[in-house]
Amino acid sequence: MAAFVKSRASGASALKRARPLTLAALSLLLFGCSGEDDAHDRAASTAAASATVTKETVAAEEATDGEPAPAAVGLDPQIFAAGAIVGEVETVDCTLSGGTQATCYQFRVAGAPADPETSPEGPFCPPNIHSGEEEGGTWMDGEGTLYQVDGEFIKNLATLYQDKEWQMYDVNTGEITVIDGARGCEVAGDPNPIEGFDNFCLECPLEELDGGIEKTVVIPRVPVPAAEPTSLAGRANTGVALNGVLFGPPAPLELILSSHTLGVLDDCGAHANPHEGYHYHTATGCSEIGIQEDGHSPMIGYALDGYAIYAREDKDGKVPADLDDCGGETDPVRGYHYHASAPGVNQIFGCFMGEKGHFLDEEGGERPPQGPPGE
């Protein structure tokens, strides 16, 4: 079966044909918008303010192998969209993941998109197998294919996974089994199976989480290069978007869809649970707020190590040719920075090149045990 997929690059949407998927290529993403009339104007104003990079490029300390470390432009809280940061930004002493004593910014992010007109939450689960793509969200294979979850996608799950146990809809009415609202958030936050109940599409809307779960992050003002790159794998969030949304870790691909359940992502590559709130798992073109005057890819946020993250493509749709394994490169204006992985890849960027800060809300950087029902 060839499924239709929806990919987004620099905010644009397109349809393409995708290769068939095997069961091993997919995993459950169970865990992982209205706005004021002037939201767009505020976002545009913020983008304009961030377009001209005026901060002096700061050369970081030399790496342990004696080679000069890549230079980096330090974190600038003023680049964030209005409403993305809640309360004051503090300057604090901090100890980074590699043991380095540093100066960090500490601030609280809203946990919901501050640019809802350009980065809207939802939709997630389509209501019926006849529903069009505008009624459903997305699903990724983790390797660069982003599927549009419309009614046809749900209907063909048994073929897609080569598993006849998939039956997420009523054969008589075509109605898809959806768990949403408060119950959806309850299920999303509980790794235990629901006895006698499987084959459902799950969604946890922001309105059931009081509009978002705020998180306090501590990020170095100027990145400190690590002795060696470190993986994004684990349960800790990996950074913050300029619109106040968390960058989640890679979804646990080893958790195969044994429970015949889908924790669908929206078009921005995000979903929510009551532990982490609303968070991105893949970059699809949202939070592209930090417009660059030279045509470079727009900035979307900061990694937990303080390096900036930019969209994958520049204004001409070109992807940098010489990115390192972490998705990073260095230029004279921005210093060292990351570029987002392709839509559908199970990560926001490749790996950490710097020593990480942390979230105060996550003890030791760990998240509560989570997983799909039946784990």
Q: What is the pLDDT of residues 142-161, one digit of tens each?
A: 788 899 999 999 999 999 88
State the average pLDDT over residues 129-133: 97
**234 or 272, which is more confident:** 272
Q: Six-digit token pair at 362?
A: 């996550």
Cα angle 308, 82, 210 (rounded to 5 degrees) comes to 100
Look up residue 61 and give its two tokens. 């300390």
> Which among 10, 7, 9 is positioned nearest to 290, based on CA atoms?
10
pLDDT given at position 35: 34
Cβ pair 73, 57 in contact under 8 A: yes
pLDDT for the residue numbered 87: 96
Of 39-43, 126-130, 184-188, 219-223, which range is least confident?
A: 39-43
Q: Is 33 helix (H, G, I), strand (E, B) or coil?
A: coil
Please identify which residue in the block is written with the tokens 């008589």: 172
Query: How many angstroms from the chain centroid is the CA of residue 34?
Result: 20
Q: Give the other-Cβ count within 10 Å of 181's Cβ.
A: 13
Q: How confident is the model at residue 33 (pLDDT cuts 50, 70, 90)?
A: very low
At residue 362, the pLDDT reads 66
pTM of the model: 0.79
CA 183 centroid distance within chain: 24
Both structure tokens of 286 = 């949202």
pLDDT band at 361, cuts 50/70/90?
A: confident
Half-sphere exposure of 39 (CA within 13 A, CB side): 16
The 10s digit of each residue's pLDDT in 301-320 is 999 999 999 999 999 999 99
> Which contiguous run of DSSP H or E holds residue 42?
helix 39-51
Q: In what order do the strands lie in the sheet with 261-262?
A: 178-179, 200-202, 261-262
Query: Measuring CA to CA, which residue among 334, 303, 327 is closest to residue 58?
Result: 334
Identify whether the C-beta of residue 153 lies closer than 8 Å to the C-beta of residue 278: no
Residue type present at position 323: L
Question: Is the pLDDT reported for residue 92 higher than 80?
Answer: yes
